[in-house]
Amino acid sequence: MSIEDGVARIVLDNPPVNLLDVTMMRELRTVLDALREDSSVRVIVFSSADPEFFLAHVDMRIGERMDDLERLAASAPADVNVFQAVGELLRHQPQVTIVKLAGKARGGGAEFVAAADMAFAAAETAGIGQIEALMGIVPGGGGTQYLRDRVGRNRALEVVLTAELFDAGTAASYGWINRALPADRLDEYVDRVARGIAALPDGVIEAAKRALPAEHITDGLLRENEAWSARIASPAVRRLMGRGLRDGAQTPAGERDLEGLMRGAARR
């Protein structure tokens, strides 16, 4: 992380495909908690060290680290699950949070994008999607609720049930992200937005976020968690994810067309 002129820049880096695993979730919560108390930081910009993958999705092997996961869950608020806790922390951050999306964000990665205050994407290379249905589950990290707020119920159902990877232009037209830009303009544009917001007179950001608060969606998150929990415990889901992993999920080659890979795994 670097901080300059009121802008904190956080680069997500978890090779080989930037999985949202226990370590990444713990580190995100640590840094967001620390920045929450830093009044000198007005804007937080998230980008990826990997040009292909912003955040691939939640680690499909996360269940193998139950002890670590339970410790992380114990420190989460009582009314959200461990995955929802990341998005909710981001949504209620006092700073303006901006995602710079150059590559792909699926599942928990897409939920992270939707939880941020703003997201700008590279038109030629970015993609965003809720892949979970092809794994036999539904989004469980806030995605259903964030999508409904951003794109409406009809398009949220389209996103969840088609499980497609949406290009940046379509995502922008739906309101899922703010804007799709040519890849060679993305860095400059996001930097200009971030610096401009950070340079606003004292109190303006706080007033704007107070006037436009992130709504509390406790009931919706509970419904989502119940739907996700009912599916993730299924032996059929574990078998499907296992086939996906054997076919190359969570490797760069497999993640380039994860939708096709998981559809193939489901047919066997």
Q: 184-219: per-residue pLDDT in tens?
A: 999 999 999 999 999 999 999 999 999 999 999 999
Residue 21 belongs to domain with CATH number: 3.90.226.10
Q: Per-residue pLDDT for 7 more than 90?
A: yes
pLDDT of the residue at 68? 79
Question: Rounded CA gap, 168 and 120, in Å?
Answer: 9
42-55 residue pLDDT tens? 999 999 999 999 99
Residue 268 placed within a domain: no
Beta-bridge partners for 121: 101, 180
Q: Per-residue pLDDT for 66 more than 80?
A: no
pLDDT of the residue at 162? 98
Count CB atoms within 10 A of the CB of residue 253: 10
Residue 151 placed within a domain: yes
Q: Per-residue pLDDT for 85 more than 80?
A: yes
Residue-wise DSSP of the chain: -EEETTEEEEEE--TTTT-B-HHHHHHHHHHHHHHHT-TT--EEEEEESSSSEEE--B-TTGGGGHHHHHHHHHTS-TTS-HHHHHHHHHHT-SSEEEEEE-SEEETHHHHHHHHSSEEEEETTT-EEE--GGGGTS---SSHHHHHHHHH-HHHHHHHHHH---EEHHHHHHHTSSSEEE-HHHHHHHHHHHHHHHHTSPTTHHHHHHHHSPPPP-HHHHHHHHHHHHHHHT-HHHHHHHHHHHHHTTTSHHHHHTHHHHHHHHHH-
State the residue for tokens 């998981």. 262
Residue 218 placed within a domain: no
pLDDT of the residue at 198? 98
Q: Band of the pLDDT at 80, cuts 50, 70, 90?
A: very high
Model's pTM, two decimal places?
0.96
Q: What is the residue-averaged pLDDT of the chain?
A: 96
What is the end-to-end Cα distance of the chain in Å, rounded?
Answer: 44
pLDDT of the residue at 12? 98
pLDDT of the residue at 190? 98
Containing structural domain, residue 147: 2-198
Q: Band of the pLDDT at 70, cuts 50, 70, 90?
A: confident
Residue 219 placed within a domain: no
Using alpha carbons, select from 22, 45, 21 the residue that is nearest to residue 93.
45
pLDDT of the residue at 101? 98
Count CB atoms within 10 A of the CB of residue 237: 14
pLDDT of the residue at 205? 97
Residue 262 placed within a domain: no
Residue 134 placed within a domain: yes
138-184 residue pLDDT tens? 999 999 999 999 999 999 999 999 999 999 999 999 999 999 999 99
Question: Rounded CA gap, 24 and 58, in Å?
Answer: 10
Number of domains in the chain: 1
Torsion of CA 246, 251, 142, 61, to 10 degrees: 50
pLDDT of the residue at 62? 87
Residue 243 placed within a domain: no
Residue 106 placed within a domain: yes
Averaged pLDDT for residues 115-132: 98
